[in-house]
């Protein structure tokens, strides 16, 4: 669709149709904002980004194919000035800092969509960072004390790719299925699984699966 030039154009990247519809309705109700496109996976999102040149990209962490963090890195690598806002059901204490490091300017938990999404969108459109007060305080405290936030939770020590593999294990994906979805070799996934076992302190694949499933149940 073509967006009027007097409105900020927003591309939504989310694989949940209901979420997309709700976000679109809320955004389109604003006089200065309009959704100009939507995508559910990384490939379509990159095509839409090139075609539509949106003013802001809203990105979910978990996508139909691929991963939101990797998409953010890809877009940021092509255009460091691109404005991106993550809207996700995942806990911001684990993903917000990763999203910011990847190139996003803000993070909103889906539980806060009704109250905070428009404010977050306008903040990021202005080139400013948006985080919840709780997350902002956590990052400030971390900076003041110079304490590594990964000390308490071993999952936070995982790289972005390792965390993605860990999530997919938790969703019951086989090694072959993970390799296919991430477009990596089975050997590479096996290497990631070995690193996961070492970093998370589990003895075998069964324990890794149990831990991953429990983590997904608790974190979405």
**Domain spanning 154-219 has what CATH number?**
1.10.10.10
Q: What are the contacts of 208-212 at 24+ separation with CB within 8 A? A: 208/169, 209/169, 209/170, 212/166, 212/167, 212/169, 212/170
Domain with CATH 3.40.50.2300 in the chain: 8-142
Residue-by-residue pLDDT tens, the chain, 220 positions:
454 468 999 999 999 898 899 999 999 999 999 999 999 999 999 999 999 999 999 999 888 787 899 999 999 999 999 999 999 888 777 788 889 989 999 998 887 777 789 999 999 999 999 987 677 666 666 555 655 544 567 887 888 888 888 888 888 888 998 888 888 899 999 999 999 998 888 888 888 888 888 888 777 5
DSSP state string for 56-73: EEEE-SB-SSSBHHHHHH
User: For the chain, first and last CA: distance in Å?
Assistant: 32
pTM: 0.73
**For the domain with range 8-142, which CATH number is right: 3.90.1150.150, 3.40.50.2300, 3.30.413.10, 3.40.1440.60?**
3.40.50.2300
């Amino acid at each position: 669709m073509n967006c009027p030039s007097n409105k900020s154009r927003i591309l939504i990247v989310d694989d949940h149709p209901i979420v997309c519809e709700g976000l679109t309705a809320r955004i389109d109700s604003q006089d200065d904002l309009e959704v100009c496109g939507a995508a559910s996976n990384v490939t379509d999102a990159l095509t839409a980004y090139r075609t539509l040149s949106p003013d802001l990209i809203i990105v979910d962490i978990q996508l139909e194919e691929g991963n939101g963090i990797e998409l953010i890195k890809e877009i940021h690598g092509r255009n460091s000035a691109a404005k991106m806002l993550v809207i996700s059901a995942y806990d911001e204490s684990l993903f917000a800092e990763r999203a910011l490091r990847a190139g996003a300017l803000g993070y909103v938990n889906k539980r806060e969509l009704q109250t905070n999404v428009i404010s977050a969108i306008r903040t990021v459109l202005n080139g400013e960072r948006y985080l919840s007060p709780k997350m902002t305080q956590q990052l400030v405290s971390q900076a003041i004390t110079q304490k590594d936030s990964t000390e308490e939770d071993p999952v936070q020590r995982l790289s972005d790719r390792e965390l993605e593999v860990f999530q997919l294990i938790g969703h019951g994906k086989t090694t072959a299925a993970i390799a296919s979805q991430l477009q990596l070799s089975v050997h590479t996934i096996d290497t990631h699984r070995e690193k996961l076992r070492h970093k998370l302190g589990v003895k075998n694949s069964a324990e890794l699966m149990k831990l991953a499933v429990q983590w997904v149940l608790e974190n979405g």
